[in-house]
């Protein structure tokens, strides 16, 4: 298991290096130099940047400087905001995105497992039909539509009751987080519900559940000890991609709900073509996702003895 962990971490480091390099190359294949373009920053920033990144030097040297800075954990400074460090931006805004993301992942995973198990047990009966209809909708509706509809619903609910039940936008208190997290997790929850349902159906008809019944175990015990644990395994394997989907989905949810997270900042930087912020946040997000996937793999190894023991 330790060897496996180490191997996965090493793979992760190589992947992050690859992401950093690909980002660097992508950014430097912009025709002309990004700073002297028409969207150029002020003279002061330009001088600062040129000195910092050695923009007059050949590409190879720039790459070495870039990787060096990256290894030191320095993502550079903003193009559009003078003297603003990308590190500071990440430090300030990422916790907000992370809080929202964790809530959404929790909501999606718990909801997916719960609804999936429920629909499998009530297969082809009313609860199954209703939930699976909603799931098909959930898979087909883009995250920004959920976000917009969520906000629209909030406005109407607040108007209907004449008081603000939950805030429509912004960040700060728990009440600000509820609806954005629900909205953000919705699509992933629908996907996980579907996965959990088919996994659960397979297990309901498995030989070992029949054995458990032949042993005369009560239904609750069969459900908890024999069905649920095994049915969750495939759900855990897709948590990595699910976290990635929720992270990028966070961009639009933060935008719609005016949440000061890194996602919204990233989208704004993209719209303003703030190259260093884009590069920094891309590499940061990329590394984050790579290590989340590794974390999920390790978690899977921990709950599946077949992986753990070997």
Partner 1 sequence: MSAPLLEVQNLHVEFDTYGGTVRAVRGVDFKVEAGRTLAIVGESGCGKSVTVQAMMGLIPMPPGRIMQGSAKLRGVEILGRKTIEGREVRGAEIGMIFQDPMSSLNPTMTIGDQIAEPLIVHRGYSRSKAWARALELLKLVRIPEAEKRAKQYPFEFSGGMLQRAMIAMAISCKPTVLIADEPTTALDVTIQAQILDLLKDLQNETGMALILITHDLGVVARMADDVAVMYAGQIVESGSVDDVFYRSSHPYTLGLKLAMPNNDPGRHDTLQPIEGSPPDLFSPPVGCAYAARCPHSMRVCEARSPEQFDVAPRHYSRCWLHHAQSPHRADGLFLGGGNE
Partner 2 sequence: MSDLSSSSSVTLSADDFAPLPHRDDIHGINRPSRSYWQDAWRRLKSNRRALFSLWLIIGLLAFALIGPFLWQVDPSRQDIDQISQAPGADRSAEIVPEYTAWDGSVQPGFESDATGLRIGADANSQSVRLIWDAVPGANALRLYRNIFPIDGELAFGLPIAEFTSVEAGFYEDRLDLRPDTYYYTLVSLDQDMNLSAQYQELAVDVRRVITLDEVRERELVAPDVELALGDEVKLSFHPFGTDYLGRDILARLMSGARVSLFIGIVAPFLFVLLGVAYGSTAGFIGGKVDQVMMRIADFVVALPFLLFMILFQVVFGIGPGESGILPMLVALILLSWPATARLVRGQILQIRQEAYVSASRLLGAKNYYLVLRHMIPNTLGVILVTLTFAVPSAIFTEAFLSFIGMGVAPPTASWGSMSNEGLATMLTHPHELIFPAIFISLTVLAFNLLGDGLRDALDSRMRSLE
Q: Name the residues that contact partner 1, by CB under 8 A.
A: 205-208, 210-218, 221, 225-226, 229-230, 233, 303-306, 309
Strand partners, 85: 77
Distance CA 45, CA 50 (A): 8
Q: Are 168 and 151 in contact, with CB atoms under 8 Å apart?
A: yes
Residue 202 sits in the site that holds partner 2 (CB under 8 A): yes
Q: How far is the CB of 216 from partner 2 (least distance, A)?
A: 26
Distance CA 113, CA 223 (A): 13
Give the H/E segment covering residue 88: helix 86-121
Question: Considering only residues 221-240, where is the footprint of partner 2 by CB under 8 A?
Answer: none
Nearer to partner 2, 139 or 228 (CB): 139
- For the record, the structure tokens of 288 come out as 């984050």
Q: Which stretch, 102-110, 134-142, 173-181, 207-215, contacts partner 2 (CB under 8 A)?
A: 134-142
Residue 44 sits in the site that holds partner 2 (CB under 8 A): no
Taking CB under 8 A as the rule, which mask of x and - marks residues 239-278 in contact with partner 2?
A: -----x---x--xx--xx----------x--xx-x-x--x
Q: Which stretch, 27-35, 44-52, 53-61, 212-220, contacts partner 2 (CB under 8 A)?
A: 27-35
What does 73 interact with, of partner 1, partner 2, none (CB < 5 to 8 A by kind)? none
Residue 119 sits in the site that holds partner 2 (CB under 8 A): no
**94 three-class SS:** helix
Nearer to partner 1, 18 or 208 (CB): 208
Nearer to partner 1, 158 or 206 (CB): 206
Helices (H), ranges, 162-309 = 174-204, 207-214, 219-221, 229-237, 239-256, 262-272, 275-303, 305-309
Backbone angles phi, psi at 25, to 5 degrees: -65, -40
What does 23 interact with, of partner 2, partner 1, none (CB < 5 to 8 A by kind)? partner 2
- The count of other CB atoms within 10 Å of the CB of residue 109 is 21
Instruction: State how far the alpha carbon of 206 is from the alpha carbons of 125, 198, 209, 262, in Å.
Output: 21, 12, 6, 45
Residue 59 sits in the site that holds partner 2 (CB under 8 A): no
Q: How many CA atoms, within 13 angstroms, populate the side-chain half-sphere of residue 262?
A: 27
28 CB-contact burial (10 Å; exposed 0-12 / middle 13-18 / buried 19+): middle
- For the record, the structure tokens of 27 come out as 């950014």
Residue indicated by tokens 């400074």: 77
What does 226 interact with, of partner 2, partner 1, none (CB < 5 to 8 A by kind)? partner 1
Distance CA 182, CA 100 (A): 10
Candidate list 45, 117, 290, 296; residue touching partner 2; CB under 8 A: 290
Nearer to partner 2, 62 or 217 (CB): 62
Residue numbers at the binding site for partner 2 (CB under 8 A): 15, 18-19, 22-23, 26-27, 29-30, 136-137, 139-145, 148, 151-152, 155, 197-198, 201-202, 244, 248, 251-252, 255-256, 267, 270-271, 273, 275, 278, 282, 285-286, 289-290
């Amino acid at each position: 298991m330790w060897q496996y962990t180490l191997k996965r971490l090493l793979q992760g480091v190589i992947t992050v290096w690859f992401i950093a390099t690909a980002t660097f190359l992508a950014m430097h294949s912009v025709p002309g130099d990004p700073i002297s373009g028409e969207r150029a920053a002020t003279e002061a920033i330009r001088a600062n940047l040129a000195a910092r990144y050695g923009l007059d030097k050949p590409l190879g040297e720039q790459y070495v400087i870039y990787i060096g800075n990256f290894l030191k954990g320095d993502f550079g400074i903003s193009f559009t905001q003078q003297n603003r460090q990308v590190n500071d931006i990440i430090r300030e805004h990422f916790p907000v995105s992370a809080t929202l993301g964790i809530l959404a992942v929790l909501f999606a995973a718990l909801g997916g497992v719960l609804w999936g198990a429920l629909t499998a047990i009530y297969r082809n009966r009313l609860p199954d039909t209703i939930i699976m209809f909603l799931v098909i909708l959930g898979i087909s509706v883009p995250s920004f539509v959920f976000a917009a509809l969520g906000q629209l619903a909030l406005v109407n609910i607040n108007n209907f009751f004449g008081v603000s039940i939950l805030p429509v936008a912004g960040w700060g208190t728990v009440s600000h987080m509820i609806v954005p997290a629900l909205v953000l997790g919705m699509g992933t929850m629908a996907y996980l519900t579907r996965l959990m349902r088919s996994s659960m159906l397979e297990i309901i008809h498995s030989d070992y559940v029949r054995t458990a019944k032949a042993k005369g175990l009560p239904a609750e015990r069969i459900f908890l000890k024999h069905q649920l644990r095994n049915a969750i395994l495939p759900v855990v394997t897709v948590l990595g991609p699910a976290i990635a989907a929720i992270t990028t989905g966070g961009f639009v949810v933060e935008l719609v709900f005016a949440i000061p997270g890194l996602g919204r900042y990233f989208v704004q930087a993209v719209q303003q073509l703030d190259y260093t912020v884009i590069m920094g946040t891309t590499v940061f997000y990329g590394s984050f996702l790579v290590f989340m996937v590794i974390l999920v793999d390790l978690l899977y190894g921990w709950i599946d003895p077949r992986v753990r023991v070997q």
